[in-house]
Chain A
Amino acid sequence: DIVMTQTPSSQAVSAGEKVTMSCKSSQSLLYSENKKNYLAWYQQKPGQSPKLLISWASTRESGVPDRFIGSGSGTDFTLTISSVQAEDLAVYYCEQYYDTPFTFGSGTKLEIK
């Protein structure tokens, strides 16, 4: 199974600050035939179901604010929030869909100071 490791487990920032969180996979998620990384990011706000933010490591979903930026390739990925807003309070999960079983990282909890 592909193991997904997210760091940090939690992070507290003030509104307006930039935040980055890391996701590392135990094997490459880059598929050589199409040059795509099979990595998604989800946001789970308190009491809600997860919501897809980013697919293919860097493709923002329709309606997702452009302050959410996904980057990285191979085994190392990053989610950046360029200017955190109060409504970004959530747990953020990365997930690989390169192979079954599809696996998630343990999440990064974002707290607003």
Chain B
Amino acid sequence: EVQLVESGGGLVQPGSSLKLSCVASGFTFSSYNMHWIRQAPKKGLEWIALIYYDSSNKYYADSVKGRFTISRDNSKNTLYLEMNSLRSEDTAMYYCAKAATGAWYFDYWGQGVMVTVSS
């Protein structure tokens, strides 16, 4: 059974940093591309980052480019999202998601971790 478990969220002040983790199990993590997607309170879904299975390529939404960094450690079956210069508009539930085989859509999602940016 595929499982994705996010952690590392919390309440932080504007301008600060936070690093999210997503531990994967139930599939060969090192063979799959992975995403981060977020959802602001009572709002829709926003894709924010993609990393290839071997970390060879990374893509970001314009809203986070230059501030957020996606990375992975295949030896630990873990996906990361390092978030710097956080703003109030980054307040959201953050989901990690597995990319489907041979395509970019999201076939499995984690339960999400909440990040609140407020003074």
Contacts and interface: CB of A to CB of B under 8 A. Distances in A.
Interface stretch (B19-27, B84-92, B108-116): B108-116
Interface stretch (A15-23, A65-73, A76-84, A98-106): A98-106
A52 B47 contact: no
Contacts of B46: 104
Contact of B100 (A42, A49, A55, A106): A55
A93 B44 contact: yes
Contacts, number: 56
B32 interface: no
Nearest to B63: A101
A103 B109 CA distance: 16
B61 interface: yes
Interface residues of B, number: 21
Given A49-B95, A49-B109, A50-B109, A97 B103 contact: yes
Contact of B109 (A51, A55, A104): A51
A101 B48 CA distance: 8
Interface residues of A, number: 21
* Interface core residue of B59, B62, B106 (most chain A CB under 10 Å): B106
Interface in A12-69: 38, 40, 42, 49-52, 55-56, 61
Interface of A: 38, 40, 42, 49-52, 55-56, 61, 93, 95, 97, 100-107
Interface of B: 35, 44-47, 50, 59, 61-62, 95, 100, 103-112
9 contacts: A40-B106, A49-B112, A50-B45, A55-B103, A93-B44, A101-B47, A101-B59, A101-B61, A104-B47
Given A52-B106, A100-B59, A102-B35, 11 more contacts: A38-B104, A38-B105, A42-B106, A52-B109, A93-B44, A95-B47, A101-B61, A102-B47, A102-B50, A104-B45, A107-B45
